[in-house]
């Protein structure tokens, strides 16, 4: 079975690989040009079609939306992100400091999302998942660790 995942083509061509360099005013100007965005989407889709051999084109390739992915320059982002309260602050366990990042989007009134911690360190949740979700014994987990299959957090 082949699975296709189209996330949107990486970023707008002028800033490929360096989206942090896009000035705020340029991001806002670009957002106001839907016809130019449509042209870029078509270019991005065509690049995707060229990158994949014809037999690997997903059945929905013609209808798949493509879009440049935006970065939030200096964690300030477009003004509408700020106005919507899309940024949250949380303690990042890996970095050991508070960071400001994009929160859960979209926001639902009945089932709001929540950022409750930063990314876990490698192996931080492994034992809990193996025990509670998969029913592994302490002995089985120890064997996996001894074989190098799993890691414990450092």
24 in Cβ contact with 71 (< 8 Å) = no
For residue range 12-69, list pLDDT tens digits in order: 444 444 445 555 555 555 555 555 656 666 776 777 677 666 665 555 555 555 555 5
pTM: 0.41
State yes or no: pLDDT of 153 exceeds 90. Answer: no
Rounded to whole angstroms, the Cα distance separating 6 from 8 reads: 6
CA angle, residues 60, 37, 6, in degrees to nearest 5: 30
């Amino acid at each position: 079975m082949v699975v296709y995942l189209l996330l949107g083509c990486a970023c707008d061509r002028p800033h490929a690989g360096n989206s942090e360099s896009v000035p705020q005013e340029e991001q806002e100007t670009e957002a106001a040009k839907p016809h130019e965005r449509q042209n870029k989407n078509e270019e991005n889709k065509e690049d995707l079609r060229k990158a994949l051999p014809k037999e690997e084109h997903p059945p929905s390739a013609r209808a798949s939306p493509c879009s440049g992915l935006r970065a939030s320059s200096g964690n300030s982002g477009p003004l509408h992100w700020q106005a919507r309260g899309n940024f949250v602050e949380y303690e990042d366990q890996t970095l050991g400091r508070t960071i400001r990042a994009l929160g859960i989007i979209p926001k639902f009134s009945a089932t709001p999302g929540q950022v409750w911690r930063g990314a876990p360190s490698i192996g931080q949740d492994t034992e809990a998942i193996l025990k509670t979700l998969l029913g592994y014994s302490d002995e089985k987990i120890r064997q996996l660790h001894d074989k190098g299959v799993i890691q414990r957090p450092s």
